[in-house]
Amino acid sequence: MGEHSGGTKSIGSVLRKHLGQRTVLGVAIPVLQDHIDAVRRGATPEGLTEKQIEAGFRKTLAKFISSEYHSTYIDRRLGARGFLEFFDGKYRLRPSLLTDASVNALETLRDELLESLRSAYEQRQTAIKRLESVCSLPKECVRERFALVDEYLSHLTGNRGEVFEVVSFAVLREYFRTFGFSLQRFSTTHANDGGMDFVAADAIYQVTTDESIQKVRRDLAKAPGTKRVLVRPTLTPGVTQLREGDVLEAIELKDLLNHFVAWLLERDTRARWSEHLQRVLEVALDEFRREDRAAMTG
Residues 103 and 240 in one domain: no
Residues 111 and 144 placed together within one structural domain of the fold: no
Length of the chain in residues, anyone?
298
Q: Has residue 127 been placed in a domain? A: no
Selected residue with higher pLDDT from 189 and 163 = 163
- The answer to whether residues 110 and 152 belong to one domain is no
Q: 13 and 149 share a domain? A: no
Are 83 and 74 within 8 A, CB to CB? no
pLDDT interval class at 225 (50, 70, 90):
confident
**Most confident stretch, 12-21, 64-73, 268-277:** 268-277
- Average pLDDT of the residues in 115-136: 91
Q: Tell me whether residue 132 is in a domain.
A: no
What is the residue range of 240's domain?
137-297
Residues 214 and 279 reside in one and the same domain: yes
Residue 39: which pLDDT band, with cuts at 50, 70 and 90?
very high
Question: Mean pLDDT of all residues in the chain?
Answer: 85
- Asked whether the predicted pLDDT for residue 296 surpasses 50, the reply is no
Domain boundary among 116, 146, 181: 116
pLDDT computed for residue 111 by the predictor: 97
Does 196 map to a domain? yes
Using the predicted structure, report yes or no on whether residue 244 has a pLDDT greater than 90.
Answer: no
Of 190-194, 204-208, 234-238, which gets the smallest average pLDDT? 190-194
Query: What share of the chain in percent tops pLDDT 70?
Result: 85
| 34-43 LR contacts (CB < 8 Å, sep 24+) | 34/92, 35/92, 35/93, 35/98, 35/106, 36/103, 36/106, 36/107, 36/110, 39/103, 39/106, 40/103
Number of structural domains, the chain? 2
Q: In whole angstroms, what is the distance from residue 19 CA to residue 111 CA? A: 11
Q: Do both 64 and 163 map to the same domain?
A: no
Is the residue at 130 inside a domain? no
Same domain, 59 and 167: no
> Are 57 and 21 in a shared domain?
yes
pLDDT at position 189: 45
Q: Is residue 123 part of a domain?
A: no
- Average pLDDT of the segment spanning 283-298: 68
Helices (H), 205-261: 213-222, 237-241, 253-255
Domain assignment of residue 204, yes or no: yes
